[in-house]
Amino acid sequence: MDTFLQQVVSGLATGGIYASLALALVMIYQATDVVNYAQGEMAMFSTYLSWSMMNHGVPYWVAFFATVVIAFAGGVLIQRIIIRPVQNAPVLTIVIVCIGLLTILNSVAGWIYSYIIQPFPSPFPKAPIRLGHLVLGTHDLGAIGVTLLLLALIYVFFRFTTLGLAMRAAAQNPASARLVGIRVGWMLALGWGLAALVGAVAGMMVAPVIFLEPNMMSGILIYAFASATLGGFTSPGGAVLGGFMVGVMENLAGTYISFIGTSLKLTVALALIVIVLLVKPSGLFGRAAVHRV
């Protein structure tokens, strides 16, 4: 029983990481109707920025908020400069541009910061919390808290502010949105900025656990993609829940199904997700796509 609870708890901890990046993916999808494959590398790059600030003696929280602001501006710029020229091209063209962006960011980060693995500080105290036999990492709890806080902020933003409404409108029906006076182009850019911001926070929360390295996000992005799909790409809350579920499933499958061990962990987690999708094709909490005939 103790093993079970411990595995669930550590599953929740890794799940929190997947959840934060999944949230960024879903955000950009809701705001722009595009899945951003470069999301992980954007987060990685922002994390490096905060790392070099801290190396130059900037205190953690100053560097944190400066990075968040820079990431937002960077996301807006990327949309305006790189994505906009292909905005009206087929979706797959945009996907390829995102893949190009991914390789550029990854390669440039490796070039500037080298591929040496770097430790990254955590803002939370080091000592773990003990509850009976359970060991809870303080950083894991803190990271989960930050993810949930972000989710709440995003929910409030999209649900209760005029700007959030305008952004949803611009993504869902650009032509009608333009007719009622929304500046669609800038809404899309804002969406990219926000997603870059969420990604930057996710990166800074992940880095203390998996260490800083140009390829650090590729594995996480796969899980985040899986989490977002499991939860449903139309639902930020679903994506976060999906992240936690994937983390727990992966851990439990690795522990209890003997032939799996660690080598087939990823395969089993993905197989489970595909099975869930076959029953609910739009994810657990997603709305089924409605087509106009």
Partner 1 sequence: MDVARAESVPAARPATRPRARGWQGAGLLLLLAVACALPFTLSGFRLFQFSQVWAYAIAVLGLNMLTGYNGQISLGHGAFFALGGYTTAIMIDRWSIPYGWTIPAAGLVCLVAGFLFGIPALRLEGLYLALATFALALAVPQILKYFDSWTGGSQGIVLSKPRAPWGLPLSPDQWLYFLGLGIMVVLFALAWNLLRGRTGRAMVAIRDNPIAAAAMGINGPLYKSLTFGVSACYTGIAGALSVLAVAYVAPDTFNIFLSITFLVAVVIGGLASISGAIFGALFIQFVPNYAQDISKAAPWAIYGLSLILFMYVMPRGVSGSIRVLWRRIREGGRG
- The residue ranges that bind partner 1 (CB under 8 A) are 29, 33, 35, 82, 85-86, 89-93, 95-97, 99-104, 106-108, 110-111, 222, 225-226, 229, 233, 263-264, 266-267, 270-271, 273-274, 277-278, 281-283, 289, 293
Q: Which two tokens stand for residue 53?
A: 């600030």
Query: In angstroms, what is the minimal distance from the CB of 281 to partner 1?
Result: 5
Query: In angstroms, what is the minimal distance from the CB of 221 to partner 1?
Result: 10
Query: In angstroms, what is the minimal distance from the CB of 229 to partner 1?
Result: 4
Of residues 8 and 170, the one with the C-beta less far from partner 1: 170
Distance CA 33, CA 187 (A): 12
Of residues 54 and 277, the one with the C-beta less far from partner 1: 277
Of residues 66 and 95, the one with the C-beta less far from partner 1: 95
Of residues 128 and 281, the one with the C-beta less far from partner 1: 281
DSSP labels for 70-105?
HHHHHHHHHIIIIIGGGTTS-HHHHHHHHHHHHHHH
Best CA proximity match to 118, nearest among 208, 203, 253: 208
What torsion do the CA atoms of 22, 24, 25, 30 make, to the nearest 10 degrees? 120
Of residues 78 and 170, the one with the C-beta less far from partner 1: 78
What torsion do the CA atoms of 231, 148, 219, 267 make, to the nearest 10 degrees? -40
Best CA proximity match to 194, nearest among 212, 172, 167: 167
Q: How far is CA 169 from CA 89, 165, 232, in A?
A: 20, 6, 19
What torsion do the CA atoms of 101, 105, 111, 117 make, to the nearest 10 degrees? -140
Nearest-5° Cα angle at 143, 142 to 144: 90
Query: In angstroms, what is the minimal distance from the CB of 181 to partner 1?
Result: 26
Of residues 63 and 78, the one with the C-beta less far from partner 1: 78
Query: In angstroms, what is the minimal distance from the CB of 80 to partner 1?
Result: 14
Contact of 36 with 96, CB cutoff 8 Å: no
Q: Which two tokens stand for residue 265?
A: 């962990």
Query: In angstroms, what is the minimal distance from the CB of 243 to partner 1?
Result: 14
Of residues 100 and 145, the one with the C-beta less far from partner 1: 100
Query: In angstroms, what is the minimal distance from the CB of 30 to partner 1?
Result: 13
